[in-house]
Structure 1
Amino acid sequence: MVNSKKRILTGDRPTGALHLGHYVGSLANRVKLQNDYESYIIIADVQALTTHWDKDDHLRNDIMQITEDYLAAGLNPELSTIFIQSMIPEIHELTMYYAMFTMVNVLRHNPTVKTEAAQHGFKEMSYGFLGYPLSQVADISIFKANLVPVGEDQLPHIELARRVIRRFNELYKPVLIEPEALVGEVPRLVGLDGKSKMSKSLGNAIYLCDDARTVQDKVKNAVTDPARIHKNDPGHPEVCTVYEYHSVFNRPELEEIESNCRQGKIGCVECKKNLAVKLNNLLEPMRERRQQYNQAAIKDILMEGTRKAHAAALDTMAEVREAMAINYFDR
Structure 2
Amino acid sequence: MFAERVLSGMRPTGSLHLGHYHGVLKNWIKLQHEYPCLFFVADWHALTTQYDDPQGIEKATWDMIIDWLAAGVDPEKATLFIQSQVPEHAELHLLCSMMTPLGWLERVPTYKDQQEKMSGKDLTTYGFLGYPLLMSADILIYRADKVPVGEDQIPHVEFTRELARRFNHMYGREPGFEEKAKEAVARLGSKNKRSFEHLRTRFQQDGDKEAVAKGRALLAELPQLSADDRERLLGYLEGTGKTILVEPGYLLTEASKMPGLDGQKMSKSYNNTITLREDAASVTQKIKRMPTDTQRVRRTDPGEPDRCPVWQLHQVYSDAECKGWVQKGCRSAGIGCIECKQPVIDGILREQAPMQERAQKYLDQPALVRDIIAEGNRKAGVLARETMRDVRAAMGLNYA
Q: One-letter code of the match for 1:37? A: Y
Cα offsets for 1:197-238 (capped at 9, x unmatched): 222233211000201111111111222222221233232222
CA deviations over 1:261-287 (Å, ceiling 9, x no partner): 233322211111221110000000000
SS of equivalent residue, structure 1 residue 284? helix
Q: Gaps (5+ residues) in structure 1?
A: none
Deviation at 1:106, TM superposition (A): 1.9
Q: 1:55, CA displacement in angstroms?
A: 2.5
Cα distance in 2 for residues equivalent to 1:280 and 1:31:
20
Q: Distance in 1 between matches of 2:117 and 2:251?
A: 26
2:268 is the counterpart of 1:200:
yes
Q: Which residue of 2 aligns with 1:219?
A: 287
- The match for 2:153 is 154
Q: Distance in 2 between matches of 1:232 and 1:114?
A: 50
Structure 2: which amino acid aligns with 1:191?
A: G
User: How does 1:1-331 map onto structure 2 within 5 Å?
Assistant: 6-121=4-119, 122=121, 124-173=123-172, 174-194=243-263, 196-252=264-320, 253-293=322-362, 294-329=365-400
**How many positions carry a matched residue from both structures?**
326
The CA RMSD over aligned residues, in Å, is: 1.8
CA distance in 2, matches of 1:203, 1:299: 30
Of 43-52 and 97-106, the range deviating more from structure 2: 97-106
CA spacing shift, 1:91–1:263, aligned 2, 3 Å = same
Q: What are the Cα deviations for residues 117-175 of structure 1, in whole angstroms up to 9, with x where unaligned? A: 22222464321111111111011111111111111111111111111111111111121
Q: Which amino acid aligns with 2:159?
A: L
Aligned letter for 2:100? T
Residue of structure 1 equivalent to 2:226:
none
Report the alpha carbon displacement of residue 246 of structure 1 after superposing the two structures with TM.
1.3
Residue identity opposite 1:125 in structure 2: T
Q: 1:230 to 1:146 in 2, by over 3 A?
A: same
CA spacing shift, 1:22–1:100, aligned 2, 3 Å: same
Structure whose alpha-carbon radius of gyration is higher: 2
Q: Is the 8 A contact 1:64 1:295 kept in 2?
A: no
Q: CA deviation at 1:249?
A: 2.3
Q: Shift of residue 255 of structure 1?
A: 3.6
Distance 1:16 1:100 in 2: 34
1:29-51 superposed Cα distances (whole Å, 9 cap, x missing partner) = 11111011111001000001112
**Structure 1: which 4+ aligned runs deviate by more than 4 Å?**
none
